Each structure stands twice: as C-alpha cells, then as structure tokens.
Amino acid sequence: MAKTKSAYFCQNCGYESPKWMGQCPSCKQWNSFVEEVVEKTSSKVPEWRSTTTTGNAKRANKAAIIHEIVYQDESRILTPDQEFNRVLGGGIVPGSLVLIGGEPGIGKSTLMLQLALSIPQVKTLYISGEESEQQIKMRAERLSQSSKANCYILTETATQNIFKQIETVQPNVIVIDSIQTLHSSQIESAPGSVSQVRECTAELLRFAKETSTPVFIVGHITKDGSIAGPKVLEHMVDTVLQFEGDRHHVYRILRAVKNRFGSASELGIYEMQGSGLREVSNPSEIMISQRDEPVSGVSIAAMLEGMRPMMIEVQALVSNSAFGTAQRSSTGYDTKRLNMLLAVLEKRFGFRLSAQDVFLNIAGGLRVEDPAIDLAVIVAIISSQQDIPIQSNLTFAGEVGLSGEIRAVNRIEQRIQEAEKLGFDGIFISKFNTKGLDAKKYNIAIRPVAKLEDIFSALFG
C-alpha cells in the first residue's frame, strides 16, 4: 500500500515544507503555504508507458565528450500561421513542451483550436477540461476550418485516462486546455493546486521527451499578470508564450518569454475577428492612421517590439489646465518617463508645460517600452503645443537624455529599412548612430541630429 503524507506548499513558488511557515524562505511571500495530501508511489509506472517497455530495465545514461555527440537537425512542423511559426523560432519542434498564458477571454483557446484545425496533414488531439465537445464544435464551426481538419477532441481531466486515449489515437500534436484542470491519481490534492500542476506537467514532459510528440499547454494567469501555479512550471517547459492584448481592441500580441529553440524576443500580431484570429503580416500599416490633412500633435516612431521593427503613431495633446494642478496622462507609454521628458523640455529649453495638461496616446492599443520612441514623443508634444503639424512622411528614432542629447539606439539598420519599405521620405536618428552606417544604400533621407535644438530648428523654425 502506498504511503501517504501531508505537506505544505507555497502557492507562489511551489516550495515544499513539512510544516506550516508564515513566510516562504524561497520567494519571501507571506501566508502562502497551503496543506496538501501527497501520495508517494515510487513503484507505480506512468500510464503512458507501454507494457513492452516497462518490463525491461532502463539503460543508464553515460557521460560523453561534447564533440562526440551526434547532432541531428530534426525537421520542424510548419503551420499555415506564419506569425506562430516566427514566435516558435521556425515551427513546432518535435518533443517540445510549450506553455501559453494569457488573460481570460483574450483568445488562448481560439488560438490553440485554430492551430489544431489548420494542420490537416498532422493528427492533432485537442484535450479540454473546461468545455464540452458541443462547445468546441461550435467554435470550430465559427472558425470554418473543421471540414478538412484531422483533429480529435477529448473532454477529460484525469491524466491516466488521457494517456490511454493518447495510446489509442497516436496523435502527432497534443493540446491541453488547460493545465489547471488536470489531476493525477498519484497526487491526492485538488486540481489546480501546486502539487497537481507540477505533477501533471512532469508527466506531460516525460511523455513529450520520450515519444518526440510536441505538447501545447494552456495556463491561467493571476491578477498581477504572471502564470498561475508554481514558478517551477515555467522552468520545466521548453517555451513560454504570452498572449497579450486589450479586449477592447481587436489586436493581440503573441510574445515569446522563454524559448529554448529560438529567439525569446520574437512576437506575432493577430487581429481578432468574428471568424477567429487573423495574422497581421505588416503591423506598421494598421498602426498608422490615414489622414487627408496633417494634424498637429502626431508623429511616427520607428520602434522595435522584440526583434520586430514597426512604425507606430504617437499622439499628443497639450492644453491649458483648467485646475490648479496640471494633468499628466499616457496610454501605452510609461507615465514616469513622460514626466521625465516634460521636465527636460521645461528645464533645458524653457517650454512652460507645468501649467498645461499633457495627454499622450500610442495608437493601436500597443504598450511600448522601447526608449527609441522618446524623440517621437517630444516632437508630438511640441507639435501640439505650438500647433504646428509634422510632415507625415517623416519618422523618428532616438532616445532622449536628461541633458537634451539624443542618444543612439540599437539595430538602427532595421528601423531604417522598415521606414524605407513603408515609403517614408526621411528619418531622424542620433548622430552617434551614423558610425559605420552606409547611408547611400538606402532610398530614404537619413537626418542625423545630436541635440533636441537641432530637431526644433529643423521642424519648428
């Protein structure tokens, strides 16, 4: 008979303790320990292992010199979704374990079902612990891709039953929606607890590595935006993807937070429609508004979102304050950095902005952290205050320092190429970015500047 015992687990990081503690010694969180019943089954064989292999002793691994290891470049599974392939690093790697997190209702289940339905040459098993078969069928009909799909649907939460169905179906790709609903018979605790999430993920990890079957796991997130469950969950998987976006906007961003098979700075952009998620191959065109006449307070920034260059529209509005204290409001941009730039304008160049309200907006609902848009933010603010429109064929890329200097930014060549591809006539960059830059090979006027005075004299006279 298996020996059972009770242990205490930290709900934040998964730290295990034989007794309750007020503060977790690992993550320093208070009152995070919860008692769970743990069953130790050292002799029990996982359900997914076949009877032919369990009777044989497993050969122990031996150390090998690195230059003697034979590397085999396995072919990836390419999906019709080019954005998804880019984020994964070029396609689905056999035997990989991918974790996808995001807010409720952001479209995680839609993205995964759309992936399962879009690869008819690959047998896919979609396992749902949250929805019934009829609900999944309704979404598949809305996506209009279920007629030719080679996709099997399973509504189950017990891992032993799931692995039995896996042996029967023999799928090439597995989708779990979601990991918080699964429970293993080896752990006597509620689904979604730290021990259950860790054990179920460990079983899926062993299955993926020993059978070379890629597994996608959908995970819930907490109110602070981190993936629910123990932090060790993100360390166990090969890739962590974050599905972000505002539910009031139609655009979604699939961001790679961790990726063992590619860059962790890639992202994919989607547009949420009634028929599902549509990939956006050129996000710069949708982020820039089309106007018949130039408007003051609008500038275009050449930014990098991860590894991807794009043009975004920065909108600013400066008006006289009706109250004693001026308002500072920004959407999609750090308010503290906005206050810093306003202080630079007032201290170094004499712009009286302390008695004026300043509102800043990044068009398209994006959240931008690239410091290279500082120059475009300042240009938009001064354009709105002076009521002087900026030419729509100009773009800006530069970080602004506290003394008013324009600092160099990274990967300036990609920013210039993106601006050239979209038909811009000129781009303002830092003078310190011109070292080693061959301006003659671009069909766009590169205008290097060193200080904000150079920008003001060129644009506002």
Give pLDDT tens digits for 297-337. Answer: 999 999 998 778 899 999 999 998 877 788 999 999 999 99
Q: What is the pLDDT of residue 49?
A: 56
Taking the C-alpha atoms of residue 242 and residue 304, their distance in angstroms, rounded to an integer, is 18
Average pLDDT over residues 40-64: 53
Check if the beta carbon of residue 164 is closer than 8 Å to that of residue 51.
no
Q: Please tell me the distance from the alpha carbon of residue 340 to that of residue 260, in angstroms, as a whole number.
A: 37
Chain segment 201-221, per-residue pLDDT in tens: 999 999 999 999 999 999 888
Both tokens of 42, joined, read 């050292």
Q: pLDDT of 350-384, one tens digit each? A: 898 988 999 999 987 788 889 999 999 999 999 99
pLDDT value at 401 more than 90: yes
Give the pLDDT confidence score for residue 38 in this predicted structure. Answer: 67
pLDDT tens column, 4-28: 677 888 877 778 888 899 998 888 8
In 392-405, which positions are buried (b, 16+ CB within 10 angstroms) versus exposed (e)? bebbbbbbbeeebb
Which string of b and e fits 306-344 if b means at least 16 CB within 10 Å?
Answer: bebbbbbbbbbbbeeeeeeebeeebebbeeebbeebbeb
CA distance 72 to 255: 28
Encode pLDDT of 413-440 as tens digits. 999 999 998 889 999 999 999 988 888 8
Supply the Cα-derived Rg of the chain in whole angstroms: 27
Distance CA 9, CA 397 (A): 48
Whole-number Å distance between alpha carbons of 316 and 74: 50
Whether 53 has a pLDDT exceeding 80, the answer reads no
> Measured in whole angstroms, how far is the alpha carbon of residue 136 from the centre of its chain?
25
Lowest mean per-residue pLDDT among 120-124, 147-151, 316-320: 147-151
pTM of the entire structure?
Answer: 0.76
CA distance 336 to 360: 12
Confidence (pLDDT) at 96: 94
Q: Closest Cα to residue 235, out of 86, 97, 76, 61?
A: 97
Task: Locate 404 and state its tokens.
Answer: 């008013």
Structure-model confidence comparison of residues 227 and 252, the more confident one: 252
148 pLDDT above the threshold of 80: no
- Print burial letters for 28-46: b (CB count within 10 Å at least 16), e (below 16): eeeebbbebebbeeeeeeb
Q: Name the average pLDDT for the chain.
A: 86
CB 120 within 8 A of CB 154: no
